[in-house]
Amino acid sequence: MLWLMVLAVIVMIVGFIATMMIGESKENKKENSNYFKFTGKKWMHLSWIYVLCTVMLAIIMIVVWKK
């Protein structure tokens, strides 16, 4: 069961890194002229998604370890 939790954390970290790389890529900025509009709001939404997923994973890990 521990390996499954470690795998979930790895997938979350890789997803976060990929999101950051895509968001900051030169190609993305060139092709989409509206890229810089409302970026603070977009990054805030992404941040909340990652925070919520991290909290949910922590809760699941605590519940599983207590059993």
Between CA 45 and CA 2 the distance in angstroms is 30
54 band by pLDDT with thresholds 50, 70 and 90: confident
The answer to whether 12 and 57 have CB atoms below 8 angstroms apart is yes
The answer to whether 35 and 41 have CB atoms below 8 angstroms apart is no
Residue 62: the pLDDT is 85
Global pTM reads: 0.52
Between CA 67 and CA 47 the distance in angstroms is 31
Residue 31: the pLDDT is 64
Q: Is residue 16 packed enough to be buried (19+ CB in 10 Å), middle (13-18) or exposed (0-12)? A: middle
28 band by pLDDT with thresholds 50, 70 and 90: low
36 band by pLDDT with thresholds 50, 70 and 90: low
The answer to whether 19 and 11 have CB atoms below 8 angstroms apart is no
Residue 41: the pLDDT is 79
